[in-house]
Amino acid sequence: MKTLAATLFGLIVSSAALAQPPGGGGGGLPDNATIMANNDGNGDGEITRAEATEAGLALGQNWDMFDLNSDGKVVAAELDQVRGQFAGGPGAGGPGAGAPPAPPAPPAPPAPEADEDE
């Protein structure tokens, strides 16, 4: 499972690098506006597989990782969920994210007081 997660993380980072416009910087997945600008050919706010493939960037090459509901288009909410799965941000609690963190341990009981009769 760790190998799968590491592989997916590597694909995300690779995708981010390929989706950056010339001169773009930073690691991780670019912001939604950048991804949309680079892949949404008709500007309707939904990236189709054809648009992503035509753009020739990582989104088209890793389509199934981003089209989470398999409806043939990628929207901002799906990008947020993918980003969150690898950054611990929005979407991190989605399906397959694992169990929620354990609650904090209760405080230790106070130490017994010394007996004055001794």
Domains belonging to the chain, first-starting first, are 29-92 (1.10.238)
pLDDT at 59 over 70: yes
pLDDT of residue 22: 42
pLDDT reading at 110 higher than 60: yes
Mean pLDDT, rounded, of the chain: 74
Comparing 29 with 103, the larger pLDDT belongs to 29
Q: What is the pLDDT of residues 33-42, one digit of tens each?
A: 999 999 999 9
d(CA 98, CA 88): 12
When pLDDT is cut at 50, 70 and 90, the band that residue 52 belongs to is very high
What whole-number distance in Å separates Cα of residue 12 and Cα of residue 89? 15
